[in-house]
Structure 1
Amino acid sequence: MKHDSPGQSALRNGRRSIPGQIYLLTWATRDRRPWLAALPAAREVIRSLKYADSNRWTHTLAFVIMPDHVHWCLELGQEHRLERVVNSVKSFTSNRLRRLHSIQGSFWQDGFHDRAARRDDNIEAMCRYIVANPLRAGIAADLGDFPHWDSIWLEV
Protein backbone atom coordinates (compact mmCIF):
# COMPACT_ATOMS: atom_id res chain seq x y z
CA MET A 1 0.00 0.00 0.00
CA LYS A 2 1.32 3.39 -1.00
CA HIS A 3 1.14 6.30 1.44
CA ASP A 4 1.53 9.96 0.60
CA SER A 5 4.32 11.91 2.19
CA PRO A 6 3.28 14.92 4.29
CA GLY A 7 4.45 17.16 1.46
CA GLN A 8 2.25 15.43 -1.10
CA SER A 9 -0.78 15.71 1.16
CA ALA A 10 -0.05 19.40 1.71
CA LEU A 11 0.09 19.97 -2.06
CA ARG A 12 -3.45 18.62 -2.39
CA ASN A 13 -4.79 20.35 0.70
CA GLY A 14 -7.06 23.11 -0.52
CA ARG A 15 -6.80 22.10 -4.19
CA ARG A 16 -9.94 23.07 -6.04
CA SER A 17 -10.84 22.14 -9.56
CA ILE A 18 -12.78 24.99 -11.17
CA PRO A 19 -13.86 24.85 -14.83
CA GLY A 20 -12.57 27.89 -16.70
CA GLN A 21 -9.90 28.56 -14.05
CA ILE A 22 -6.33 29.17 -15.22
CA TYR A 23 -3.72 27.01 -13.49
CA LEU A 24 0.05 26.85 -13.54
CA LEU A 25 1.12 23.22 -13.06
CA THR A 26 4.50 21.66 -12.42
CA TRP A 27 5.50 18.03 -12.08
CA ALA A 28 8.84 16.24 -12.20
CA THR A 29 10.40 13.02 -13.34
CA ARG A 30 11.26 10.46 -10.68
CA ASP A 31 14.35 11.59 -8.77
CA ARG A 32 14.52 14.58 -11.16
CA ARG A 33 16.23 12.44 -13.80
CA PRO A 34 16.77 14.27 -17.12
CA TRP A 35 14.76 11.78 -19.18
CA LEU A 36 12.88 14.55 -21.01
CA ALA A 37 16.06 16.00 -22.56
CA ALA A 38 15.70 13.57 -25.47
CA LEU A 39 13.59 14.91 -28.33
CA PRO A 40 11.30 11.82 -28.56
CA ALA A 41 10.53 12.01 -24.83
CA ALA A 42 9.74 15.73 -24.87
CA ARG A 43 7.61 15.29 -27.99
CA GLU A 44 5.63 12.54 -26.26
CA VAL A 45 4.73 14.91 -23.42
CA ILE A 46 3.82 17.66 -25.89
CA ARG A 47 1.64 15.21 -27.82
CA SER A 48 -0.20 14.39 -24.60
CA LEU A 49 -0.80 18.08 -23.76
CA LYS A 50 -2.17 18.63 -27.26
CA TYR A 51 -4.43 15.59 -26.81
CA ALA A 52 -5.88 17.16 -23.66
CA ASP A 53 -6.56 20.34 -25.66
CA SER A 54 -8.08 18.50 -28.63
CA ASN A 55 -10.51 16.75 -26.29
CA ARG A 56 -11.39 20.07 -24.62
CA TRP A 57 -10.14 18.94 -21.23
CA THR A 58 -7.88 22.00 -21.30
CA HIS A 59 -6.90 25.04 -23.30
CA THR A 60 -3.12 25.37 -23.17
CA LEU A 61 -1.77 28.89 -22.74
CA ALA A 62 1.90 27.90 -22.44
CA PHE A 63 4.18 25.01 -21.59
CA VAL A 64 7.85 24.17 -21.36
CA ILE A 65 9.27 20.67 -21.16
CA MET A 66 12.50 20.84 -19.17
CA PRO A 67 14.89 17.86 -18.96
CA ASP A 68 13.50 16.78 -15.58
CA HIS A 69 10.15 18.55 -15.18
CA VAL A 70 7.15 20.07 -16.94
CA HIS A 71 5.51 23.49 -16.56
CA TRP A 72 2.03 23.84 -18.05
CA CYS A 73 -0.22 26.89 -17.92
CA LEU A 74 -3.76 25.99 -18.90
CA GLU A 75 -7.38 26.91 -18.66
CA LEU A 76 -9.35 23.97 -17.30
CA GLY A 77 -12.22 22.74 -19.47
CA GLN A 78 -15.74 22.01 -18.29
CA GLU A 79 -15.68 18.21 -18.29
CA HIS A 80 -12.77 17.00 -16.14
CA ARG A 81 -11.29 17.74 -12.76
CA LEU A 82 -7.73 19.09 -12.67
CA GLU A 83 -6.32 16.02 -10.95
CA ARG A 84 -7.88 13.71 -13.53
CA VAL A 85 -6.41 15.72 -16.42
CA VAL A 86 -2.90 15.68 -14.94
CA ASN A 87 -3.11 12.02 -13.98
CA SER A 88 -4.25 11.14 -17.51
CA VAL A 89 -1.36 13.06 -19.09
CA LYS A 90 1.14 11.53 -16.67
CA SER A 91 -0.23 8.00 -17.06
CA PHE A 92 -0.24 8.11 -20.86
CA THR A 93 3.25 9.54 -21.11
CA SER A 94 4.63 7.31 -18.35
CA ASN A 95 3.65 4.12 -20.14
CA ARG A 96 5.23 5.21 -23.41
CA LEU A 97 8.32 6.85 -21.91
CA ARG A 98 9.18 3.92 -19.65
CA ARG A 99 9.39 1.77 -22.77
CA LEU A 100 11.42 4.42 -24.60
CA HIS A 101 13.98 4.65 -21.78
CA SER A 102 13.69 1.01 -20.58
CA ILE A 103 12.73 2.27 -17.12
CA GLN A 104 11.57 -0.01 -14.34
CA GLY A 105 9.13 1.58 -11.91
CA SER A 106 7.54 4.98 -12.16
CA PHE A 107 8.57 7.62 -14.66
CA TRP A 108 7.06 10.58 -12.81
CA GLN A 109 7.27 11.64 -9.19
CA ASP A 110 3.95 11.30 -7.43
CA GLY A 111 1.70 14.32 -7.42
CA PHE A 112 2.05 17.74 -8.96
CA HIS A 113 2.15 21.35 -7.86
CA ASP A 114 -0.65 23.64 -8.94
CA ARG A 115 -1.27 27.33 -8.56
CA ALA A 116 -4.60 28.85 -9.53
CA ALA A 117 -4.21 32.24 -11.18
CA ARG A 118 -5.82 35.15 -9.39
CA ARG A 119 -7.85 37.84 -11.12
CA ASP A 120 -5.04 40.35 -10.73
CA ASP A 121 -2.35 38.02 -12.13
CA ASN A 122 -0.78 38.98 -15.42
CA ILE A 123 -1.26 35.66 -17.22
CA GLU A 124 0.86 36.64 -20.21
CA ALA A 125 3.78 37.55 -17.91
CA MET A 126 3.32 34.27 -16.04
CA CYS A 127 3.52 32.37 -19.33
CA ARG A 128 6.57 34.32 -20.46
CA TYR A 129 8.23 33.45 -17.16
CA ILE A 130 7.65 29.70 -17.53
CA VAL A 131 8.80 29.49 -21.15
CA ALA A 132 11.97 31.41 -20.22
CA ASN A 133 12.88 28.60 -17.80
CA PRO A 134 15.49 27.10 -20.21
CA LEU A 135 17.27 30.47 -20.35
CA ARG A 136 17.41 30.80 -16.56
CA ALA A 137 18.56 27.17 -16.25
CA GLY A 138 21.41 27.85 -18.69
CA ILE A 139 20.42 25.12 -21.15
CA ALA A 140 19.66 27.59 -23.97
CA ALA A 141 21.15 30.99 -24.80
CA ASP A 142 18.09 31.99 -26.80
CA LEU A 143 14.54 30.71 -26.57
CA GLY A 144 14.64 29.97 -30.29
CA ASP A 145 17.36 27.41 -29.57
CA PHE A 146 15.11 25.40 -27.25
CA PRO A 147 12.42 23.38 -29.05
CA HIS A 148 10.21 22.13 -26.21
CA TRP A 149 7.92 25.05 -25.46
CA ASP A 150 4.93 26.92 -26.79
CA SER A 151 2.75 29.85 -25.78
CA ILE A 152 -0.28 31.51 -27.29
CA TRP A 153 1.54 34.86 -26.92
CA LEU A 154 5.10 34.14 -27.97
CA GLU A 155 6.75 33.62 -31.30
CA VAL A 156 10.43 33.32 -32.02
Structure 2
Amino acid sequence: MEVDYLFKIGDNIIYPMHGAGIIEGIEEKEIQGQTQKYYVIRIPMNNMQVLMPMNNILNSRIRSVSDKLSLEVVLDIFHHGESDRSLSWKERYKINSDKVRSGKLIEGAEVVRDLTRIQNEKTLNSSEKQMLDNAKRILVGELGLIRGITEVQATDLLKNSNHG
Protein backbone atom coordinates (compact mmCIF):
# COMPACT_ATOMS: atom_id res chain seq x y z
CA MET A 1 0.00 0.00 0.00
CA GLU A 2 1.61 3.25 -1.15
CA VAL A 3 1.07 6.31 1.04
CA ASP A 4 0.57 9.74 -0.44
CA TYR A 5 3.74 11.75 -0.27
CA LEU A 6 3.69 14.61 2.19
CA PHE A 7 5.92 16.65 -0.11
CA LYS A 8 6.58 16.50 -3.81
CA ILE A 9 9.62 17.30 -5.90
CA GLY A 10 10.06 21.06 -6.21
CA ASP A 11 8.37 21.90 -2.88
CA ASN A 12 10.01 24.58 -0.76
CA ILE A 13 10.33 23.43 2.84
CA ILE A 14 11.75 24.59 6.14
CA TYR A 15 14.03 22.15 7.92
CA PRO A 16 14.38 23.19 11.58
CA MET A 17 17.97 24.03 12.54
CA HIS A 18 19.01 24.04 8.85
CA GLY A 19 16.65 26.50 7.20
CA ALA A 20 14.96 26.80 3.85
CA GLY A 21 15.31 23.91 1.48
CA ILE A 22 13.94 22.39 -1.69
CA ILE A 23 12.75 18.82 -2.22
CA GLU A 24 14.93 17.86 -5.18
CA GLY A 25 14.01 14.23 -5.47
CA ILE A 26 12.71 11.03 -3.98
CA GLU A 27 15.13 8.12 -4.07
CA GLU A 28 15.07 4.56 -2.90
CA LYS A 29 18.30 3.63 -1.14
CA GLU A 30 19.58 0.63 0.72
CA ILE A 31 21.38 1.61 3.91
CA GLN A 32 22.54 -1.05 6.39
CA GLY A 33 20.56 -3.72 4.55
CA GLN A 34 17.32 -1.77 4.75
CA THR A 35 15.70 -0.35 1.63
CA GLN A 36 13.54 2.72 2.04
CA LYS A 37 12.53 5.87 0.24
CA TYR A 38 14.20 9.17 1.03
CA TYR A 39 13.46 12.77 0.28
CA VAL A 40 16.51 14.45 -1.25
CA ILE A 41 16.55 17.95 0.25
CA ARG A 42 18.87 20.72 -0.90
CA ILE A 43 19.62 23.45 1.67
CA PRO A 44 21.01 26.29 -0.50
CA MET A 45 22.28 28.47 2.35
CA ASN A 46 24.68 25.80 3.68
CA ASN A 47 25.23 24.34 0.23
CA MET A 48 24.12 21.06 1.76
CA GLN A 49 22.15 18.04 0.62
CA VAL A 50 20.19 16.00 3.17
CA LEU A 51 18.53 12.62 2.77
CA MET A 52 15.47 12.29 5.00
CA PRO A 53 13.77 8.89 5.28
CA MET A 54 10.17 9.41 4.18
CA ASN A 55 8.85 7.55 7.20
CA ASN A 56 10.71 9.98 9.51
CA ILE A 57 9.39 13.13 7.86
CA LEU A 58 6.60 13.75 10.37
CA ASN A 59 8.96 13.47 13.35
CA SER A 60 11.51 15.76 11.70
CA ARG A 61 9.30 18.88 12.04
CA ILE A 62 10.03 19.67 8.40
CA ARG A 63 7.20 21.85 7.15
CA SER A 64 6.07 23.73 4.08
CA VAL A 65 7.13 27.34 3.75
CA SER A 66 4.63 29.72 5.37
CA ASP A 67 2.27 31.80 3.26
CA LYS A 68 2.31 35.58 2.74
CA LEU A 69 -0.46 36.22 5.26
CA SER A 70 1.41 34.36 8.02
CA LEU A 71 4.53 36.30 7.06
CA GLU A 72 2.76 39.65 7.56
CA VAL A 73 1.61 38.58 11.04
CA VAL A 74 5.13 37.43 11.90
CA LEU A 75 6.70 40.67 10.62
CA ASP A 76 4.26 42.70 12.72
CA ILE A 77 5.16 40.69 15.85
CA PHE A 78 8.83 40.88 14.87
CA HIS A 79 8.80 44.67 14.69
CA HIS A 80 6.28 45.52 17.42
CA GLY A 81 6.16 42.55 19.83
CA GLU A 82 7.46 42.71 23.39
CA SER A 83 10.67 41.02 24.51
CA ASP A 84 10.88 39.47 27.98
CA ARG A 85 13.96 41.09 29.54
CA SER A 86 13.53 39.52 32.99
CA LEU A 87 15.19 36.21 32.08
CA SER A 88 18.75 35.23 32.95
CA TRP A 89 20.82 34.38 29.88
CA LYS A 90 20.66 30.65 30.76
CA GLU A 91 16.84 30.70 30.94
CA ARG A 92 16.70 32.73 27.74
CA TYR A 93 19.11 30.34 25.99
CA LYS A 94 16.98 27.30 26.86
CA ILE A 95 13.74 28.97 25.74
CA ASN A 96 15.34 30.25 22.53
CA SER A 97 16.88 26.82 21.76
CA ASP A 98 13.44 25.23 22.07
CA LYS A 99 11.95 27.92 19.81
CA VAL A 100 14.58 27.41 17.09
CA ARG A 101 14.19 23.63 17.28
CA SER A 102 10.40 23.96 16.90
CA GLY A 103 10.97 25.07 13.30
CA LYS A 104 8.02 27.49 13.53
CA LEU A 105 8.37 30.78 11.63
CA ILE A 106 6.93 32.84 14.47
CA GLU A 107 9.17 31.29 17.13
CA GLY A 108 12.30 31.74 15.02
CA ALA A 109 11.34 35.36 14.37
CA GLU A 110 10.92 35.94 18.13
CA VAL A 111 14.41 34.57 18.77
CA VAL A 112 15.91 36.87 16.12
CA ARG A 113 13.95 39.86 17.45
CA ASP A 114 14.81 39.32 21.11
CA LEU A 115 18.50 38.52 20.60
CA THR A 116 18.90 41.43 18.16
CA ARG A 117 17.41 43.82 20.72
CA ILE A 118 19.81 42.54 23.40
CA GLN A 119 22.74 42.71 20.99
CA ASN A 120 21.92 46.36 20.30
CA GLU A 121 22.41 47.08 24.02
CA LYS A 122 25.32 44.78 24.89
CA THR A 123 27.53 42.09 23.43
CA LEU A 124 25.95 38.64 23.29
CA ASN A 125 27.95 35.70 24.58
CA SER A 126 29.28 33.36 21.89
CA SER A 127 26.46 30.79 22.32
CA GLU A 128 23.73 33.39 21.88
CA LYS A 129 25.59 35.08 19.04
CA GLN A 130 25.78 31.76 17.21
CA MET A 131 22.08 31.10 17.91
CA LEU A 132 21.16 34.55 16.58
CA ASP A 133 23.19 34.01 13.40
CA ASN A 134 21.59 30.60 12.81
CA ALA A 135 18.03 31.76 13.57
CA LYS A 136 18.48 34.82 11.36
CA ARG A 137 19.83 32.71 8.48
CA ILE A 138 16.77 30.42 8.71
CA LEU A 139 14.35 33.37 8.95
CA VAL A 140 15.97 35.22 6.03
CA GLY A 141 15.84 32.03 3.94
CA GLU A 142 12.11 31.62 4.54
CA LEU A 143 11.37 35.32 3.96
CA GLY A 144 13.19 35.07 0.65
CA LEU A 145 11.16 32.06 -0.46
CA ILE A 146 7.80 33.55 0.60
CA ARG A 147 8.41 36.91 -1.04
CA GLY A 148 10.53 35.64 -3.93
CA ILE A 149 13.34 38.02 -2.98
CA THR A 150 17.08 37.76 -2.44
CA GLU A 151 18.84 37.18 0.86
CA VAL A 152 19.92 40.85 0.94
CA GLN A 153 16.35 42.08 0.35
CA ALA A 154 15.03 39.71 3.04
CA THR A 155 17.66 40.97 5.52
CA ASP A 156 16.64 44.56 4.72
CA LEU A 157 12.99 43.60 5.35
CA LEU A 158 13.96 42.69 8.92
CA LYS A 159 15.86 45.95 9.47
CA ASN A 160 13.12 48.12 8.04
CA SER A 161 10.25 48.37 10.51
CA ASN A 162 8.14 50.18 7.91
CA HIS A 163 7.51 46.99 5.94
CA GLY A 164 3.96 47.72 4.81
TM-score category of the 2 structures, normalised to the smaller one: under 0.3
Higher gyration radius (CA): 2
Q: TM-score, normalised by structure 1?
A: 0.26
Q: TM-score, normalised by structure 2?
A: 0.25
- The one of the two structures with greater contact order (alpha-carbon pairs below 8 A, sep at least 6) is 1
